[in-house]
Amino acid sequence: MAGQTETIVAAILGAIEGGSLRPGGLIDEQELIEAHGVSRTPVREAMIQLETAGLIRRLPRKGAVVFKPTLAEFLAILEVHAKLEGQAAGLAARRLSAAHAAALEAAVAACEDHAARLGDAEPDRYYQLNMDFHRVVAEAAGNPFLLEMIKTNARKLMAYYRARYHYAGAIGASARDHRAIAALIVARRSEEAEAAMARHVQFDQVTAMDLLAVMG
């Protein structure tokens, strides 16, 4: 009967990543209690963990909501996130193992395949492929702390990433970026890989404004 808090945390994280809990969405404490048959404490502890990680916010007497960054917060997180993803790509170029190289190729190929066969259709599925690509790069960097930070930040920006692929041509452009970045990593061109990844993540302000318009 150990680890009820972790179960709740996993459940909430799953709901956030799965998209059933959207940024700004309320997390019903009572519902979680009944759904998992536990008391308030494990749920409460799970909330504290997620709040500390910055993934939810507990508003006084309003309940907990999934973190939904303001425009300023969004830009601030993105600024750092782009840097970290860039570092990951740069390190991956220096440390790429055979296994990671294979995984990287597979991830890029999957993105290209989606773009070629489906075009702009099924953006949510491409979102998953995109996640895979970035995860593989971060893992190939061989720095667990960097990986963890990237994961957490990505979750905060998730809703915007998701919305991104609803724009015409976005998926094709993303897949081409991925191929270019992967080529630089495989070629061990660390600094160029770093710069290319940072550029890829920190998309231009016009795109950012588009997304913010959609997300409200």
Partner DNA sequence: TCTCCCTATATTGTTAACATGATAAGTATA
Partner DNA sequence: TATACTTATCATGTTAACAATATAGGGAGA
| Contact footprint for a copy of itself (CB under 8 A) | 41, 44-45, 48-49, 52-53, 73, 76-77, 79-80, 83-84, 87, 91, 143-146, 149
Nearer to DNA, 60 or 216 (CB): 60
Report the side by side order of strands in the sheet with 26-27: 26-27, 63-66, 56-59
Secondary structure class of 41 (helix, strand, coil)? helix
Instruction: Determine which residue in the list 34, 40, 80, 119 makes contact with DNA, applying CB under 7 A.
Output: 40
| 58 touching DNA, by CB under 7 A | yes
CB contact set of 62 (below 8 Å; sequence gap of 6+): none
**Exposure of 46 by Cβ count < 10 A (0-12 exposed, 13-18 middle, 19+ buried)?**
buried
Answer with the entry of a copy of itself, DNA, none that 190 interacts with (C-beta below 5 to 8 A by kind).
none
63 beta partners: 59
Answer with the entry of DNA, a copy of itself, none that 87 interacts with (C-beta below 5 to 8 A by kind).
a copy of itself
| 11 touching DNA, by CB under 7 A | no
CA distance 100 to 179: 15
Tell me which residues touch DNA (CB under 7 A): 1-5, 29, 37-42, 44-45, 58, 60-64
